[in-house]
Amino acid sequence: MPNSPFCDKKSLIAIMDSLDVGIIFVNENNDILFVNKTAEEIRRIKSEESVGKSILNCHGGKMNHRVLEVMDNFKKDNNISRHKLIKTRGKYFDNIYNVVKDEQSKYLGVVLLSQDVTEKKMLEEKLQKYNEELEHKVKERTKEIEDAYNKLKVAQQQLVQSEKMAAIGQFVAGLAHEINNPLDGIQNCLRAILSEPQNLEQTKNYSELALDGLYKIEILVKKLLSYARLHALEKTEVDINLILKDILSLTSFKLKNKKIIINEEYSSDLPLIYGDAHFLEQVFVNLVLNACDAMPNGGQLTVKTFSNNNDFIEIKVIDNGEGIPNEHLNNIFDPFFTTKQKNNGTGLGLYLSYSFVEQHGGKISVKSKNGMGTEFTVLLPAIPIKENKIEVTEHVLS
């Protein structure tokens, strides 16, 4: 910009004096050739006293040999620049030293730039402190949350334990009640027999009643034993369609006698499941018999299977019987809950079915409308289709 009005020496000096960066130019002999206003303030020197004097005058005597070393390095190594943060009189200065060369790359000297970065540095320090405090607080809170979580875990375990104990207590109380009733009956029968052993007619009647009571206890014990054996499931690949067909053909006589029409809808591409056929049979026998009991004057029983997706198969057992009153819906899976006449139900059927299905990784649910009918849905995890395919092995003929 040769014709620019700002290009003259005065303007350039005015520009450099207006900057808040200290500028000192030192020639190849380490003599100061230029000092701007900000550099005068920072270095506490006067331009008219410093220009023409050695740069060493700007530093304390102790620093002289280090300053000379730095300047010598500038002269020897091309293109180096140096950056240093200096703290002096409680202020921080960012000092940059840049080599100045002419067009032929001849070393002319070094320009020293100094900028007051105290505010920036203070902010950084504040930020650092704030970060440390924050980190500390986060650590403290994390610890508090961890402690609270651990306490909650312990409390939850205690709760689960006490719920388990309560459930066991409830179960045992129910069991004692279920066994005591027929035992009482049997005792009364035996007392009556013993009081008049010669009365053969009475002895026969009471013996039959006592046998009924024993039968009830026997059924109860059998069901409980099957539950106790639950941990030893023997799982194989099971075709639920086949199990349902078997159950319905075995119960068809009873169902037809009760004027119940059976409607079977089996999915033709139902995946196999991995399960214990014996326990699964018990689940569906109970659902079918419950449906049958709910239709004392006949009705329609529908058994359907679906392969909705590859993950689960779905089985529905639907009746149009008396339905389950709303107030019972929450209890039907409880042990010993039954609405059936004495000796007709132990109230363990759905309780056990629920456990068996759960042990297979499945779910059982119910929908019912009082007076209209009931629909039970069982979901069981399917074996993925590709695993069902028969493996073809290649034989190399020699």
Ligand X SMILES: Nc1ncnc2c1ncn2[C@@H]1O[C@H](COP(=O)(O)OP(=O)(O)OP(=O)(O)O)[C@@H](O)[C@H]1O
Buried b (16+ CB within 10 A) or exposed e, 269-296: ebbbbbbbbebbbbbbbbbbbbbbbbbe
∠ Cα 166 169 174 (to 5°): 125
Q: How far is CA 311 from the centre of its chain?
A: 20
Residue closest to Mg ion when measured from CB atoms: 349
Find the shortest distance in angstroms from Cβ 149 to Mg ion. Answer: 42
In the block, tokens 């009647």 appear at 205
Find the shortest distance in angstroms from Cβ 165 to ligand X. Answer: 23
| CB 260, CB 298: distance < 8 Å | yes
Give the nearer residue to ligand X in terms of CB position, either 40 or 178.
178
How far is it, in rounded angstroms, from Cα 381 to Cα 377? Answer: 13
Cα–Cα distance list, 51 to 22, 48, 73 (Å): 15, 6, 23
339 binds, among Mg ion, ligand X, none (CB under 5 to 8 A by kind): ligand X
Find the shortest distance in angstroms from Cβ 260 to ligand X. Answer: 12
Find the shortest distance in angstroms from Cβ 380 to ligand X. Answer: 19
Find the shortest distance in angstroms from Cβ 305 to Mg ion. Answer: 21
Give the nearer residue to ligand X in terms of CB position, either 73 or 344.
344
Per CB under 5 A, 347 contacts Mg ion: no
SS3 for 81?
Answer: strand
| CB 280, CB 243: distance < 8 Å | yes
Interaction residues for ligand X, span 339-368 (CB under 6 A): 339-340, 345-351
Interaction residues for ligand X, span 310-329 (CB under 6 A): 319, 321-324
In the block, tokens 């902010």 appear at 123
Per CB under 6 A, the list member of 99, 280, 301, 332 interacting with ligand X is 332
Helix 277-293 with 240-257: angle, nearest 10 deg: 30
Interaction residues for Mg ion, span 271-300 (CB under 5 A): 286, 290
Find the shortest distance in angstroms from Cβ 375 to ligand X. Answer: 9
How far is it, in rounded angstroms, from Cα 74 to Cα 52? Answer: 20
Phi/psi for 17 (5° steps) reads: -70, -25
Per CB under 6 A, the list member of 189, 270, 294, 315 interacting with ligand X is 294
Give the nearer residue to Mg ion in terms of CB position, either 349 or 373.
349
Per CB under 5 A, 346 contacts Mg ion: no
348 binds, among ligand X, Mg ion, none (CB under 5 to 8 A by kind): ligand X
Per CB under 5 A, 349 contacts Mg ion: yes
> Which residues lie near ligand X (CB under 6 A)?
286, 290-291, 294, 319, 321-324, 332, 337-340, 345-351, 374
